Amino acid sequence: MERIPTLVIGGSGYVAGELLRLIALHPHLELAAAISDSKPGERIGAAFPHLATAYPEAVFGSLADAERRIASLPVSAVLAAGPHGVSAALIDRLLAAAAAAGTRPRVVDISADYRFADPLAYQTVYGHAHGAPARVAEFSCAVPEHLATLATPHVAHPGCFSTAMLLAIVPLLQLSLVEPEFFVSAVTGSTGSGRAPTDGTHHPRRHSDLYSYGALAHRHAPEVVGVARAITGRTADLNFVPHSGPFARGIHATTQARLLKSISAADFTAALRDFYAGQPFVRVLESAPRLKDVLTSNFAELAVSTNGRTVAVMSVLDNLTKGAAGGAVQWANRMFGWPETTGLLAPAPGWT
């Protein structure tokens, strides 16, 4: 059975922990190194006790370790979950080491660093220069369901909020059903803010509370507009209000738009089902989707409501899985020619 050595970058964060969990269950991915500059030499099982049985002896390595490993592996997968603004330069170093050694890694970046086709657009949104602008053309950015053919050697997976929005917005634009202006309200769990405690993620502050942040100014909005334009060829306006929810995992997003013509909810549901036909991880329902039906899985669920003038598409997914690590593994499956569902078909537990 084919096994691809896999390097995980940003190894001690929540997304990297989810990557490590999925790699442990995957029949073709084999952990070659987990890189964490903050915890080199520490056991993976100490940082992630729930993974101790999967990696009883494995320890985190340094970036120098990763450069040596990638130069020694003829073919490898790199799943990068480094921080925004850091990941681009780290990936550039690894790809440079691989090029010097004549090896061929394939990269999936989960940070924001390669989501923009224009480094200046990235700089405008994130407030600092891109870490490796010459590499941008080597990456495509899309959710796997929206890009049938990958024309670049590497890929950037959209963010978790972005994935939830794009699953609704791209078919609405592609099918020419709505005016190209969207209003999105979405709620995310605390793991979406990363592992380091902050005032917004600390449990006593977040528990039993709900509040918005970055209203109409969140950096994911221009990312979504750019990705949607690249996929559909259409420019849209996006009005996005994110919220912090009192739970750890999951995203619930409601996307609204004005209809170009009156269409029933049943016909709209049928159109979405046709659009996602053959896409195993997107389920279009007749009733409202619920987070507990998808948490810890790579599945996303959508449902539609309409009053004849406006349509609302509700989407739910797990931010760490479908919105990050699971989407990255889904891309890796595509890159290496395996069935897209490989290692990702575990259902949600339902009672999280």
Kindly report the CATH number assigned to the domain that includes residue 270. 3.30.360.10
**pLDDT at position 193:** 72
Q: Based on the fold, state whether residues 172 and 290 are members of the same structural domain.
A: yes
What tokens were used for 230?
A: 């690249």
Residue 147 lies in a domain: no
3-class SS at 108?
Answer: strand
Residue 347 lies in a domain: no
What tokens were used for 211?
A: 């509040």
Q: HSE (CB half, 13 Å, CA atoms) of 298?
A: 25
3-class SS at 54?
Answer: coil
Mean pLDDT over the full length of the chain = 95
Residue 153 lies in a domain: no
Residue 341 lies in a domain: no
Q: Based on the fold, state whether residues 107 and 168 are members of the same structural domain.
A: no
- The span from the CA of 298 to the CA of 339, in Å, is 14
* Residues 193/113/316/244 CA torsion (nearest 10 deg): 30
- The span from the CA of 323 to the CA of 280, in Å, is 15
Q: Based on the fold, state whether residues 72 and 168 are members of the same structural domain.
A: no
Q: Residues 35, 112, 156, 160: which is the catalytic one?
A: 160
Span 163-220, pLDDT tens digits: 999 999 999 999 999 999 999 999 999 988 777 777 777 777 888 999 999 999 999 9
**pLDDT at position 202:** 74
The pLDDT of 83-97, averaged and rounded, is: 96
Span 100-135, pLDDT tens digits: 999 999 999 999 999 999 999 999 999 999 999 999
Q: Based on the fold, state whether residues 179 and 305 are members of the same structural domain.
A: yes
- The span from the CA of 181 to the CA of 35, in Å, is 41
Q: Report the relative pairing of strands 310-317 and 211-212 from DSSP bridges.
A: unpaired
- % of residues, the chain, pLDDT over 90: 92
Q: Based on the fold, state whether residues 169 and 33 are members of the same structural domain.
A: no
What's phi and psi for 245, nearest 5 deg? -100, 165
Q: Based on the fold, state whether residues 110 and 169 are members of the same structural domain.
A: no
Q: Please, are residues 135 and 96 in contact by the beta-carbon 8 Å criterion?
A: no
Q: Based on the fold, state whether residues 187 and 301 are members of the same structural domain.
A: yes
What residues contact residue 72 under an 8 Å CB cut-off, 6+ apart? 101, 103
Residue 215 lies in a domain: yes
Q: Based on the fold, state whether residues 184 and 137 are members of the same structural domain.
A: no
Q: Please, are residues 126 and 114 in contact by the beta-carbon 8 Å criterion?
A: no
Q: Based on the fold, state whether residues 137 and 172 are members of the same structural domain.
A: no
Q: Based on the fold, state whether residues 232 and 272 are members of the same structural domain.
A: yes
Q: Produce one character per residue of 211-231: b if its CB has 16 or more CB atoms within 10 Å, e if not.
A: eeeeeeebbbbbbbbbbbeeb
Q: SS3 string of 223-241?
A: HHHHHHHHHHCCCCEEEEE
Q: Crossing angle for the helix pair 220-232 and 119-126, nearest 10 degrees? A: 150
* Residue 24, pLDDT above cutoff 80: yes
Q: Based on the fold, state whether residues 134 and 187 are members of the same structural domain.
A: no
The pLDDT of 246-255, averaged and rounded, is: 96
- Whether the full predicted model's pTM is greater than 0.95, yes or no, is yes
Q: Does the annotation mark 160 as catalytic?
A: yes
> Which domain CATH number covers 82?
3.40.50.720
Q: Please, are residues 223 and 166 in contact by the beta-carbon 8 Å criterion?
A: no
Residue 55 lies in a domain: yes
Residue 217 lies in a domain: yes
What tokens were used for 154?
A: 């590497």
Q: Please, are residues 201 and 126 in contact by the beta-carbon 8 Å criterion?
A: no
* Residue 337, pLDDT above cutoff 80: yes
Domain that holds residue 104: 4-141
Residue 326 lies in a domain: no
* pLDDT-based confidence at residue 342 (cuts at 50, 70, 90): very high
For the chain, the domain total comes to: 2
Q: Based on the fold, state whether residues 171 and 314 are members of the same structural domain.
A: yes
* pLDDT-based confidence at residue 139 (cuts at 50, 70, 90): very high
- The span from the CA of 295 to the CA of 311, in Å, is 25
- The span from the CA of 269 to the CA of 171, in Å, is 11
**pLDDT at position 1:** 65
